[in-house]
Amino acid sequence: MDNLQLLKYEVILHWIAVSIYVISTVFFAYSVSFKKTSPLNSGVIAAVIGLIPHAIAIAIRWNVSGHGPYMSKYEVLTSHSWVAIVMFLLIAWKIPKLKAAGVVILPLSFLMMTIGLFTNPDISLLGPTLSGVWLVIHVIFNKLSAGGIIIALASSVLYLLKNKNEQKEFYQKLPSLEVLDAYSYKFIGFAFIFWTITVVAGSIWANQAWGRYWGWDPIETWSIITWLLFGLYLHLRHFFKWKGIKAAWLLIVCFLSAIMSLYFIPFIIDTLHSSYFM
Amino acid sequence: MAFILKINKLLISPKTIISLIILTLLTCAIGFFVPQITDKSPSFFETWQEQNIYTYRFVTRLQLHQVYTSYWFLALVCLIAISLLSSIYAQIKKNLKYRLQCGIQNTEYRTQNIERIRNTLHKKRYREQGFTNDEDKLIFTKNSINRWGSVIFHAGLLLVVISAILVLSFRSRGFVQLIEGDTFDGKESGFIVKSRGALAGEYNAGFYTFLSKLDHTYWETGKLKHLESSLTIVENKEQADKKVSINNPLFIKGSNIYQSDDYGYTLSFVLKKLTGEEVVSHFNIDRASNVRKHAVGKTDYPLSPYIVEIKFLPDLEKKSFYLNKPIVYLNVSEGLRKVFSGLVIPGDTVKIKDTILHFTGVRYWSGLIFVKNPGMTIAYIGFVIVIIGLVIMFLLPYKEIHLSFDPVTKAYNIAGKTKKYEAIFNEELDEIRVEIEKEIGS
């Protein structure tokens, strides 16, 4: 089978995955909207099924392009959503009470994939700077931090929803407000570690490639802004015992900043990173 | 002394720390939104000055157009470093003073049930610390290292900040266009573009660098795939052959040599005057952005009244970036008057008025960056320590379990405390209680 044919299948598989994630989202949305717990399991099962064509599609593209999924909007968005869903499923398996977080993670993931599918799917060729172990570490932890932030956001959204509807039966089946708040804190802790490793690996890689580890490129500036916002969130929790609604809203601000760093800046401003994403 | 203690207390106060984080955030935001001298051309600032003099004055007086090298940002970084240092000192002092108030052994507690509970907690990686001093509770702890996490993280951060200050002060860096077959003497005067930290001396590599060959390969689309310079490093009559490519720098005698992705062609000419004087000149032109385009250049010909304009194709036949069939469309003018216009290939000689111009040949030039960066090792150590500190802080939260026994009711009581994720720990405690109940049957 030639590469063109394989890439055609890859796009079809991506659309199949998107469709299944939409079904999964419907289950989660139905569950949260109508305060029913039984559709949660169906939502999780649909997400697991969707992950299969999604993984095959990414693998096909990886095989054809000869490099990991990090060279265009299409590849970045699809791989980020795959990692976020895998992380969500692992958490749903370990902490079943957090299954409802799918109502945030699944729609975000399929939206990211769909945006990616409407961008140019051409395979970008690797430039000479795009090699080495630091690139691999930078990319892997970038995806993990994106997943971690999305999951932390989902915990905070569940917190805010439960806080508003605490008396309703469905929300009583979720973890307590204190536990949801603690999970947001924990997931941000994870994301903060991953984000730091991403920035550190990127710095070392930049030093290898260009002879400087920090250059205040717009992406670098936004990644440090996001890192500082995470730092602010963690310090406010530690020193001033911020929790609950205040902490949840600050986490949403952190999430928006991360979105700016990960997607908007490299896609709209001409930076060192945009040449890899465009 | 009292004053120093007061300052120290102020520097580690939560409000100061939060303020420093917010100030750094604001600085980054200014750096992003206000045009910076590193990103914009001087003409941009001239236009700005003409159009809005008051805003321009405000921005330049506060150095907002060069935030990352401004005096106030340097002061902020120094303040952060001092705050980190004070905070690390205070935390170390606190941690060294900390003693768990337990350690007494009580043999009366050596019952079968206690052994079962002990085993259950050991399986969950809790370490027995002994009884509290009032012999009331048996203490188990997990992740005791956690209280050092913050110290380790902030120490790593301090190293990164120190390295940034060192880099800003002592780094020297320069870009050189080295032609195949030529040697760079390693001195700053040879740099085309250079930057030097406030306290750095003049750059001198201390060795000579000879470029023997530039290798370049491309993808089918013409996009650059690999770029590598073969160098000979010469020092005190000793020489060593080395290779440097993009992403694979060369570290040698305190200097790093980086392969830039800038490279191109050097066109060599000899201008013979009527007097017999010969002026040799090498014109470096950048590679074109794609194979179908000309590489172009325009310059004064030294020691002559001529201006030379070049349109260069490295490979007329196959349209590649390789020097297979190079050809130049040459325009020579004297003032506004064109004195020569035509195609020339290496070896050609053309007569221009009363002089003869000989196109001797074409070679590649390679863009190399020479850097002396004394802060990098410290930065790398800082990076590793920061990550270790974060892992300890967030992945290994400190947990303490207190086990007590009521001799009257014969009931065991399990309580606990933690500093992070308290609600999750309480759930874990409930699970431990259930497990222990199963074990001892009460």
pLDDT tens readout for residues A248-265:
999 999 999 999 888 888
Domain check: are B415 and B435 in the same one? yes
A179 and A71 co-located in one domain: no
- The reply to whether B277 and B350 lie within a common domain is yes
Nearest chain A residue to B68 by CA distance is A216
d(CA B134, CA B101): 9
* pLDDT top residue among A43 and B304: A43
Long-range contacts of B104-113 (CB under 8 A, 24+ apart): B104/B130, B104/B131, B104/B132, B104/B133, B104/B135, B105/B130, B105/B131, B106/B131, B106/B135, B109/B138, B109/B405, B113/B412, B113/B440, B113/B442
Q: With contact defined as beta carbons under 8 Å apart, do B398 and B158 qualify?
A: no
Average pLDDT of the residues of chain A: 90
Give the domain range for residue B128.
99-141+398-440
Q: Which residue has the higher pLDDT, A131 or B395?
A: B395
Q: Which of residues B342, B365, B388 is at a domain's end?
A: B365
Q: How many CB atoms lie within 10 A of CB A55?
A: 15
Q: Are residues B178 and B240 in the same domain?
A: yes
Q: Where residue A122 falls among pLDDT bands split at 50, 70, 90?
A: confident
pTM: 0.89
- Whether residues A264 and A139 fall in one domain: yes
Residues A160 and A208 in one domain: yes
Mean pLDDT of B314-342: 90
Give the model confidence (pLDDT) of B22-57 as tens digits: 999 999 999 999 998 888 888 888 899 888 999 999
Residues of B (323-382) whose Cβ lies below 8 Å from A: 369, 371, 373, 376, 379-380
Using the 3D structure, point to which of B365, B387, B406 is the last residue of a domain.
B365
Residues B274, B340 within the same domain? yes
pLDDT digits (tens, 9 = 90+) for B137-148: 888 999 999 999
In a domain, B89, yes or no: no
In a domain, B404, yes or no: yes
With both helix axes pointing from N to C terminus, report the angle between B42-51 and B53-61 in degrees, rounded to the nearest 10: 130
Do B354 and B337 lie in a common domain?
Answer: yes
Residue B175 shares a structural domain with residue B256: yes
Judging contacts by C-beta atoms under 8 Å, the chain B residues touching residue A191 are: none
Does B245 reach chain A within 8 Å, measured CB to CB? Answer: yes
Chosen domain end from A89, A104, A126: A126
Q: Is B322 on the interface with A (CB under 8 A)?
A: no
d(CA B168, CA B199): 8
**Neighboring chain B residues of A131 at a CB cutoff of 8 Å:** 247
Interface test with A, best of B228, B390, B392 (most A CBs within 10 A): B390
Q: Which of A67, A220, A238, A276 to mutate to test the interface with B (most CBs of B within 10 A)?
A: A238
**Predicted pLDDT of residue B103:** 59
Q: Do residues B46 and B105 both lie within one domain?
A: no
Contact pairs from chain A to chain B, CB under 8 Å: 122
| Minimal CA separation from A97 to chain B, in Å | 12
Task: Name the residue among B38, B371, B421 with its Cβ closest to that of A186.
Answer: B421
Summarised one tens digit per residue, pLDDT across range A181-229 is 999 999 999 999 999 999 999 999 998 888 888 888 888 999 999 999 9
- CB contacts, 8 Å: B227 with chain A: 128
Nearest chain A CA: its distance from B389 CA (Å): 10
pLDDT at B110 over 60: no
Q: Report the residue of B421, B426, B428, B430 to disrupt the A interface, i.e. the one with the largest count of A CBs within 10 Å.
A: B421
Q: State whether A208 and B383 contact (CB < 8 Å).
A: no
Is the same domain home to A62 and A151? no
Q: Do B25 and A232 touch (CB under 8 A)?
A: yes
Distance CA B80, CA B74 (A): 10
| Residues B391, B134: Cα–Cα separation, whole Å | 35
In a domain, B85, yes or no: no
A125-152 residue pLDDT tens = 888 888 889 999 999 999 999 999 999 9
Q: How many domains does chain B have?
A: 5
Residues A104, A221 within the same domain? no
Residues 135-174 of A with CB under 8 A from B: none
Residue B130 sits in the same domain as residue B173: no
Say if B221 falls within a structural domain. Answer: yes
**Domain shared by A182 and A263, yes or no:** yes
Contact yes or no for A261/A253 (Cβ under 8 A): no
Q: Is residue B90 part of a domain?
A: no
B430 touches A: beta carbon within 8 Å: no
Q: Which residues of B touch A229 (CB under 8 A)?
A: 25
Name the residue among A209, A212, A218 with its Cβ closest to that of B247: A209
Query: How do residues B252-292 score in pLDDT, each as one tens digit?
Result: 988 999 999 899 999 999 999 888 888 899 999 999 888 88
Among the candidates A126, A155, A188, a domain finishes at: A126
Same domain assignment for residues A151 and A120: no
In this complex, do A224 and B28 lie within 8 Å of one another by their Cβ atoms? yes
Token code pair at residue B427: 């759930």
Q: Are residues A133 and A159 in the same domain?
A: yes
B193: β partners: B175
Based on the fold, state whether residues A162 and A247 are members of the same structural domain.
Answer: yes
Taking the CA of residue A64 and the nearest CA in chain B, the distance in Å comes to 15
Single-letter amino acid code for the residue at A138: H
Query: Inter-chain contact A211–B373, Cβ cutoff 8 Å?
Result: yes
- Residues B268, B353: one domain? yes
Rounded Cα distance between A254 and B272, Å, is 68
Q: Does A227 touch chain B (CB under 8 A)?
A: no
d(CA B266, CA B316): 17
Do residues B176 and B203 both lie within one domain?
A: yes
Q: Are A198 and A192 in contact (CB under 8 A)?
A: no
Smallest Cβ distance to A128: which of B164, B227, B424?
Answer: B227
Could you tell me which of B48, B120, B18, B15 has the C-alpha nearest to residue B403? Answer: B120
Q: Sign of dihedral through CA atoms B147, B152, B157, B159?
A: positive
**Are B387 and A193 in contact (CB < 8 Å)?**
yes
CA distance B391 to chain A (A): 7
Q: Do B308 and B301 meet the contact criterion of CB atoms below 8 Å apart?
A: yes
Q: Which of residues 62-91 of B touch A (CB under 8 A)?
A: 68
Task: Judge: B379–A129 Cβ closer than 8 Å, yes or no.
Answer: no
Which among B18, B373, B424 is the nearest to A182, CB-wise?
A: B424
Write out the H or E segment, with its range, that includes residue B139: strand B137-142
Shared domain for B347 and B307, answered yes or no, is yes
Residues A34, A135, single domain; the answer is: no
Count of structural domains, chain A: 2
Cβ of A228 within 8 Å of Cβ of B21? The answer is yes
DSSP A22-52: HHHHHHHHHHHHTT-SHHHHHHHHHHHHHHH
- How far is residue B215 CA from its own chain's centroid? 27
Domain final residue pick, A126, A152, A172: A126
**pLDDT reading at B406 higher than 80:** no
pLDDT at A118 over 70: yes
Lowest mean pLDDT across A170-174, A201-205, A215-219, B427-431 = A170-174
Contact A211 B227 (CB under 8 A): no
B423 and B289 belong to one structural domain: no
Average confidence score pLDDT of chain B: 89
Q: According to the model, what pLDDT value does residue A179 have?
A: 93
Do both A21 and A63 map to the same domain?
A: yes
Q: Verify that A15 and A149 share a domain, yes or no.
A: no
Chain A environment of B373 (Cβ under 8 Å): 211
What 8-state DSSP symbol labels residue A175?
A: P
Residues of A in contact with B423 (CB under 8 A): 176, 178-179, 181-182
Instruction: Assess contact for B210 and B242: CB atoms under 8 A.
Output: no
- The DSSP 8-state label assigned to residue B189 in this structure reads G
What residues make up the domain containing A74? 1-126
Residue among B21, B195, B377 with most chain A CBs within 10 A, to mutate: B21
